[in-house]
Structure 1
């Protein structure tokens, strides 16, 4: 039978539950156990798809087109296991499902209540993951902090769950903060004691404490927390700050987390194989080169808005044994002061995705600078659309060209909605979401980087390249190196006579892995590294 590990958080938010859950997943997979990870988010939005990046950070997209919390990106990157819409559940989606059942009459006229109807639906979503993928272990992260009002139905559901599936099949892992108080010169356990007390007051006794701290636990701290929180000493697991999130699984292994989890779940203790992961961390901490990449975006004051882009860059840098330096640039600043002021000296430029017109002209100016100065460039989603607008305005003599998203009245809608999308009203209704095939042009840079004729990438966009401008685009020196298999939709554009200039309509960052950097990011970093070393990148 599938086993279940519930991960809760206490004291403060952003304590690292997602990284702890993903790290445990990595440790179990290193022992040849199959794993799936589920995120239960307490907000009432059905999904984060319409939320501002400043509110929620990046929206991570799965193969099947679910718009999810950014923690699912960590789950995929650490476990190398694709997640799906089943792996992301919100309060909004739970209530929506229950209300739909009530409208259909499924409850036969009964009063619909939080208990049992909401809690039953939560438990059903957990069991659905186990049934659909049949993993050895399902790890469930409960968003928010113990004590939050909105988390209570989830906590009640997981309290009941242990009785439903058997006590030997469930454990509770609580991630908590053990702060260092400089004025006292010691660590304090009281925040953890209160957090555990809150958890126990609703009927959940944690089996494992993962103690977040900025230094090693002082002598006696583990024993004190064991005594006051009724947790075995061996199950008080220190989780000190690490220089990189990719070191966390190795720290958790040294502290015995996986061993204690397997013991509590009555699973066989197997020897882990973390050789490749250790090598990855060693390369990360011993770079041979340095390369600086500029990210020109509109949400740069919250780096989590571009989390997967950052991780994909980091994966490529690790593969090239390079120390990655990122120059964050607000595209609105470029609109005011010009591109040269902010982009001079960088080895590569990325213009990532986004929605809305704010900062778009700054992105276009950054792309123009990359094209004219010969800086390796990668455009993602909106970055690809801005590349097309930049071409139209500066090379195709169409100064008023724009996207119909930003200027519905433009005479040259270089980017537009497809005809079948015109009458759709809901924000999510026009979105092209999830995994789609793309056929690559033989001899192109894209074909060289991927080494395949047909690729599959994840999408999240509404607007497309306007095919009315295809011929003009090609006549002015650009190439369309990737399209949908039927040739209708433009997926990849290139500028062949440039050191490295490629822009894609999809989001390649979602499929990059620490041990398998994405070809586009690897190609950009390789071209940028050559530029940094004074070598001229060779165009394909």
Structure 2
């Protein structure tokens, strides 16, 4: 199984170090090789190259070298129903991609990238979560609940930006649904219904691998690839 790891690799990013470990753990559990291949956003001008892979994981550590290429990669994965996982920055970009290309909000943006954007779909968190653990409450019946159970989770973040609560309502009635919140009601994960696997999380499930644990989100993602 070949998974495109979309983002700009840095050995200094804990999540980037964790992802290969997480995939190796999935390989060992299955007895089938699961490989991740890094694709930098600056060189990803033609998203059709993703057709050579079995899935795409849009990784943390944004802003990316190319915001536009990252969005087009996410769009390709969504349109072609390839299993998609977006963690941290990947989740933020998936929110903007759907708002723009499905819901028609072409001005949707991320204030970290464009502080003056007309529709700040992703904006600064009231309290940044930098290398901190925080509770995550799965939405009953949602994808996180199906993967992890409905009890509260304790997840690791490196995050200063998230879905702007002022614009959460634009997703009402769409197939892109809230999958988890924090105890204060802030959105922490969203999943797209009707797809093989399409999930974005503000937290970084891959970092469980650095503690020697498989995470159900990563396992579910790879299950979808295998399926």
TM-score calculated relative to the size of structure 2: 0.92
Deviation at 1:316, TM superposition (A): 1.7
Query: Residue 353 of structure 1 aligns to a residue in which SS?
Result: coil
Partner of 1:383 in structure 2? Answer: 90
Deviation string 1:309-351 (CA, Å, 9 cap, x unpaired) is: 11111112221221122222111112x3x211x2013111100
Kindly state the Cα deviation for residue 354 of structure 1 after the two structures are TM-superposed: 0.8
Q: Is contact 1:458–1:508 with CA below 8 Å preserved after alignment?
A: yes
2:23 touches 2:36 (CA, 8 Å); kept in 1?
Answer: no
Q: Which residue number corresponds to residue 498 of structure 1?
A: 195
Q: How does 1:312-391 map to 2 (within 5 A)?
A: 312-334=22-44, 336=45, 338-340=46-48, 342-391=49-98
Separation in 2, partners of 1:526, 1:396: 29
Q: Distance in 1 between matches of 2:193 and 2:62?
A: 28
Counterpart in 2 of 1:308? 18
Q: State how many pairs are aligned.
A: 225
Which residue of 2 is the match for residue 445 of structure 1? Answer: 143
User: Which residue of 2 is the match for residue 293 of structure 1?
Assistant: 3
- C-alpha separation in 2, matches of 1:295 and 1:447: 25
Per-residue CA shift, 1:492-519, capped at 9, x if unaligned? 1000111100010011111136864111
Q: Which residue of the partner structure matches residue 526 of structure 1?
A: 223
**Superposition RMSD in Å:** 1.8
Gap regions ≥5 residues in structure 2: none
Alignment-derived partner of residue 67 in structure 1:
none
What is the aligned partner in structure 1 of residue 116 from structure 2? 409
Please give the alpha-carbon distance, in whole angstroms, between the structure 2 residues aligned to 1:461 and 1:514. 20
Q: Verify the 8 A CA contact 1:320 1:526 in the aligned structure 2.
A: no
Contact 1:314 1:324 in 2 (8 A): yes
After TM superposition, which residue ranges in structure 1, 4 or more long, deviate above 3 angstroms?
302-305, 430-433, 513-516
Residue of structure 2 in register with 1:434 after alignment? 132
- State how far apart, in whole Å, the 2-side matches of 1:331 and 1:508 are: 22
Structure 1 residue runs without a partner (length 5+) = 1-290, 422-429, 531-540
Q: What's the offset of the Cα at 1:432?
A: 4.1
Bigger helix share? 1
User: Could you tell me which residue of structure 2 aligns to residue 460 of structure 1?
Assistant: 158
More strand by share: 2
In the alignment, the residues of structure 2 paired with residue 450 and residue 408 of structure 1 have an alpha-carbon distance, to the nearest angstrom, of 35
- For 2:64 and 2:39, locate their aligned partners in 1 and report how far apart those are by CA, in whole Å: 17
In the alignment, what sits opposite 1:159? none
Partner deviation per Cα, 1:187-230 (whole Å, 9 max, x = no partner):
xxxxxxxxxxxxxxxxxxxxxxxxxxxxxxxxxxxxxxxxxxxx
Q: Distance in 1 between matches of 2:157 and 2:213?
A: 20
Asked whether the 8 Å contact 2:64–2:70 carries over to 1, the reply is no
Cα offset, 1:452, TM superposition: 3.6
Q: Secondary structure at the match of 1:328?
A: strand
1:66-87 deviation line (CA, Å, top 9, x unaligned): xxxxxxxxxxxxxxxxxxxxxx
- In structure 2, C-alpha distance between the alignment counterparts of 1:441 and 1:355, rounded to whole Å: 26
Max Rg structure: 1
The equivalent of 1:109 in structure 2 is none
1:377 touches 1:501 (CA, 8 Å); kept in 2? Answer: yes
Q: 1:357 to 1:318 in 2, by over 3 A?
A: closer
Selected match of 2:177 from 479, 482, 494: 479
Cα distance in 2 between the residues matched to 1:511 and 1:403: 27
Partners of 1:361 and 1:456 lie apart in 2 by 32
Q: Secondary structure at the match of 2:22?
A: helix
3-state secondary structure, aligned to 2:4: strand
Following superposition, the deviation at residue 444 of structure 1 comes to 1.2
Distance in 1 (CA, whole Å) between partners of 2:112 and 2:210 is: 32
Secondary structure, counterpart of 2:20 in structure 1: helix
| Correspondences of 1:163-202 after superposition (within 5 Å) | none
Of residues 164, 167, 178, the one that matches 1:469 is 167
1:1-59: CA deviation from partner (whole Å, max 9, x where unpaired): xxxxxxxxxxxxxxxxxxxxxxxxxxxxxxxxxxxxxxxxxxxxxxxxxxxxxxxxxxx
Q: Give 1:408 shift.
A: 1.0
1:303 Cα deviation (Å)?
A: 5.8
